[in-house]
């Protein structure tokens, strides 16, 4: 490719706001245009996260040092913030909470710029106990099934009784129910219906 064509390509890339880069090993006279993924994609996805009791969010208002704090979503679903008081947060996305705060702050701050980010997910968690490599409590933000929970716990130990795993679930009335989980049947694809989605507070016991 001639120098004139290279100049034209560089000009077009600059006009489009794209970086023009030549990589090591690229033959002389050839160029590659690299396009980066939008930086706001991950941020947009986070703003769609729905808050639950136990979550901790970081909230800040631009140019307002006294309005920068971490807030806990209380068991009743509320969240407290200076000047605003309590707002309903559980079940709302970060984007919705941000918009509520903006509206509530407008009487005190002209055109407030509010940032809301998840700091710690504490709303949803399951327990994996017994003969697993890492027994304990595991938070989650996306639906999780029994096999995934066992994976988070590092898998089972060599002496685990895989066909006698039990899932403990407590219903809204406080009654506890036990469901048998036969690992071999799920692993072989014979009865995938056992690999249910766990609910927050469920316990997987591996004897």
Kindly state whether residues 68 and 95 are assigned to the same domain: yes
Interval 53-82: pLDDT, tens: 888 999 999 999 999 999 999 878 899 999
Kindly state whether residues 110 and 135 are assigned to the same domain: no
Kindly state whether residues 18 and 50 are assigned to the same domain: no
pLDDT reported for residue 45: 63
Q: How many domains does the chain have?
A: 3
Spell out the SS3 assignment of the chain: CCHHHHHHHHHHHHHHCCCEECCCCCCCCCCEECCCCCCHHHHHHHHCCECCCCCEEEEEECCEEEEEEEEECCCCCEEEECCCEEEECCCCEHHHHHHHHHHHHCCCCCCCCEEEEEEECCCCEEEEEECECCCEEEECCCCCEHHHHHHHCCCECCCCCHHHEEEEEECCCCCEEEEEECHHHHHCCCCHHHCCECCCCCEEEEC
Task: Return the CATH number at 49.
Answer: 3.30.1950.10
Average pLDDT in the chain: 81
Asked whether residue 98 carries a pLDDT value surpassing 80, the answer given is yes
Interval 103-160: pLDDT, tens: 999 999 999 999 999 888 876 889 999 999 999 988 887 789 999 999 999 999 999 9
């Amino acid at each position: 490719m001639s120098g004139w064509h290279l100049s034209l390509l560089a000009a077009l890339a600059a006009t489009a706001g794209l970086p023009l880069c030549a990589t090591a090993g690229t033959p002389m006279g050839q160029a590659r245009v690299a396009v980066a993924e939008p930086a706001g994609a991950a941020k947009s996805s986070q703003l769609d996260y729905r808050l639950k009791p136990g979550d901790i969010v970081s909230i800040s208002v631009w140019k307002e040092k006294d309005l920068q704090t971490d807030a806990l979503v209380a068991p009743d679903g509320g969240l407290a913030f200076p000047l605003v008081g309590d707002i309903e947060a559980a079940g709302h996305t970060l984007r919705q909470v941000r918009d509520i705060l903006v509206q509530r702050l407008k009487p005190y701050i002209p055109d407030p710029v509010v940032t809301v980010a998840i700091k710690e997910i504490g709303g949803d968690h399951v327990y994996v106990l017994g003969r697993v490599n890492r027994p304990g409590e595991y938070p989650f933000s996306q639906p999780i099934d029994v096999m995934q929970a066992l994976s988070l716990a590092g898998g089972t130990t060599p002496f685990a009784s895989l066909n006698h795993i039990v899932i403990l679930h407590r219903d809204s009335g406080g009654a506890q129910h036990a469901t048998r989980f036969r690992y071999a049947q799920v692993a072989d694809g014979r009865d995938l219906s056992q690999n249910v989605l766990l609910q927050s507070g469920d316990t997987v016991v591996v004897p």
